[in-house]
Amino acid sequence: MPAQSKPKVLIVDDLESLRKTLSQVLKVYDLTIASSFEEGLSIIESNDFAVAILDIRLEYENVWNVDGLYLLKQLKAKNPNCGVVIFTGHRDSIWEESLSSYINVRVIDKDETVNIKNVRDIVEEFVNLAQ
């Protein structure tokens, strides 16, 4: 009998320290990691994921950048049930309202006190929903 494959989880964030921390905490999953919008988009176009963790603003210098929302739309177009965790340090009611049309989406404030255990629990919950 073949071994059951690990659920696939995508991490797209421009902060290397957060990518490394999430990689350690979520090492029980089949992880794919991207550090930019372009890299994330390319990966999404050719893969399916049970869960994705996306930074909302992938170009820190550009305060109007919300590339993570475009990645979310691409993920949900391929798989509406994909669980998505959005990290942000820049909450905005306009883009947050646009999330209400999607299922299985959570927004987490990205600050010094990000509770990594909470992120792990959310990912586990989304993985269970996908199975």
| Residue 69 contacts residue 37 (beta carbons within 8 Å) | no
Over the chain, what is the mean pLDDT?
Answer: 86
**What backbone phi and psi angles, to 5 degrees, belong to 54?**
-120, 140
Structure token digits, residue 44? 């999404």
Cβ neighbours of residue 98 closer than 8 Å, sequence gap 6 or more: 69
Give the burial class of 46: count Cβ atoms within 10 A of its Cβ; 0-12 exposed, 13-18 middle, 19 or more buried. Answer: exposed
Q: Render pLDDT for 45-66 as a digit per residue (tens, 0 to 9).
A: 999 999 999 988 877 666 556 7
Q: Render pLDDT for 21-46 as a digit per residue (tens, 0 to 9).
A: 999 999 999 999 999 999 999 999 99
* Architecture field, domain 8-130: 3-Layer(aba) Sandwich (3.40)
Domain ranges within the chain, ordered by starting residue: 8-130
